[in-house]
Amino acid sequence: MGWVYIEDLKNHIGKEVEIRGWIFNKRSSGKIHFLQIRDGTGFVQGIVEFSKVEPEIFERAKRLRLETSVKIFGRVREDERAPTGVEIDVENLEIVQIPIEDYPIGKKEHGVDFLLDHRHLWLRSRRQFHILRVRHEIIKATRDFYDRRNFVLIDTPIFTGSIGESAGNLFEVNYFDYGKAYLAQTGQLYLEAACMAFGKVYNFGPTFRAEKSKTRRHLTEFWMNEAEVAYYDHEDNMKLQEELISHIVRWVLEKASDHLVALGRDLKKLEGIEPPFPRMSYDEAIDHLRKKGFDVKWGDDIGGDEETALSNIFDKPVFICNYPREIKAFYMLPDPERPEVVLCDDLLAPEGYGEIIGASQRIHDYDLLVERIKEKDLPLEAYDWYLDLRKYGSVPHSGFGMGLERVVAWICGLKHIREAIPFPRTIYRLNP
RNA sequence: UCCGGCGUAGCUCAACCGGUAGAGCAUCCGGCUGUUAACCGGAGGGUUGGGGGUUCGAGUCCCUCCGCCGGAGCCA
């Protein structure tokens, strides 16, 4: 009789086992207790029958309250009435700790603010269990994708000097005698350096944006995967993106579909996510939006509502390509045939989820890059090492950044991105 | 920062035109041998976010501050 995790119970039918976990609910009919037990790997019901256990054990079961930590000893039994197919006939139980106070998270619904204040406990809830397990698989799928293609993982720094896209949305920290340092809002510039050394590179880590955004798509700290490949053009880049996203979806469907079903996700919406993804130029997107009655003109950025409208056209993610250079970052390569637009794409997830990837071919010509930095009124001296990359064997290269939490939200079908990360950081929330 | 909304029991919410605070869950007590947010009976639980004002009377109307939510801008 040994310690077994709930996820392995189906391999121990008829055996005596020990479960170490917590009581997340209890129902009783007087002479029979139904203990709802979780252990971090799954959920199972324990049956305590008055006629089958010592009176002392039955009384002990009666005293259990929400989130009491317990060791359960009993025999595993297949039962069609159980949602997971197995139950445990409890023979003995050992209380590790009875909660000192009533557990704050009840069985009925709670408001978002209350739940976020109790995020450290909310993580124990079923829904969060399933979401964060899917997140875990998405991360594994992402790493696996790059491993299979022989990309090299390059961890980019979190402390950076004043470099990036713009200075308005960086978090400042004091950095010894150097004065101000900034938390990274992207590792892209470093990956561009690394791809000239390793060819195919990626990173995966936290990113920080000091934007005062209050929407269901924004966090101040979020995880981003970026990839950068030397000699890749815009077309190669888009292919890589649609293969990455398809790989992730396929992986999650294979390894975590139970979790998606438990979250109420319609798997059919994910099963068709395979290359190629539809493409739409920025010009076509604007035309489409105008026909739908949106008040947009060529040169405007595409906002949240517009993104939702575009992502609802298709049942796969859609690439929106070649935006006006005016509204995009300085490092994006202008289209040689049409210099007013840049060779970039935003990948919008379907069902209204919107942008999950931002991508572009980068400028590899030294003079053009200097020109664009000046055009955007950025300080040339801050980009000295970045410009260096264009002096020594510069080659065309491309890359992208994928917002992990947005992908998690889309795949899980979440209404808000804050459930897609264990401890969300938003403009007004730093605790827990 | 701007626009809109909300703040009532531990939690989720209700309370009509301004008339004196109510339900479910949770907790405690009792009942029930197949419950699935179990159910049934009973009990305790409130400075209606803070401050000020109007009124015979304010949860309700006005001012102000605080907190939160949603959206915009910006972005993944």
Q: Å from A105 (CA) to B21 (C1')?
A: 25
With beta carbons less than 8 A apart as the criterion, state whether A64 and A36 touch. no
CA dihedral A403, A404, A409, A415 (to 10 degrees): -50
What pLDDT is recorded for position A100? 82
Which nucleotides on chain B have any atom < 7 A from a protein Cβ?
1-2, 10-13, 24-28, 31-39, 67-76
In the chain, the amino acid numbered A237 is N
Regions of chain A where pLDDT drops below 50? 167
Q: Please give the pLDDT value at position A108.
A: 73
DSSP code of A267? T
Q: Tell me the CA–C1' distance in angstroms for A181 and B25.
A: 49
Stated in angstroms, how far is A110 CA from B22 C1'? 20
Closest nt by CA–C1' to A166 = B74
Q: Which fold has domain A2-97?
A: OB fold (Dihydrolipoamide Acetyltransferase, E2P) (2.40.50)
| CA→C1' distance for A428 and B62 (Å) | 29
- Strand nucleotide closest to residue A28 (CA to C1'): B35
Model's pTM, two decimal places? 0.93
> HEC profile for A377-405?
CCCHHHHHHHHHCCCCCCCCEEEEEEEHH
Rounded CA–C1' distance between A137 and B49, in angstroms: 42
H runs (alpha helix) in A199-303? 234-262, 268-271, 282-291
Round to whole Å and give the CA distance between A345 and A402: 12
**In chain A, domain spans:** 2-97, 120-420
Residue A171 φ/ψ, nearest 5 degrees: -85, 130
* pLDDT per residue as tens digits for the range A304-361: 778 888 888 899 999 999 999 988 889 999 999 999 999 999 999 998 888 999 999 9
pLDDT of residue A189: 92
Buried-exposed string A148-177: b where 16+ CB fall within 10 A, e elsewhere: eeebeebebeeebebbbbeeebbeeeeeee
pLDDT recorded at residue A11: 94
Q: ipTM value, please give it.
A: 0.82
- Give the pLDDT of residue A164: 56
What is the reported pLDDT for A165? Answer: 54
Assigned fold of A120-420: BirA Bifunctional Protein; domain 2 (3.30.930)
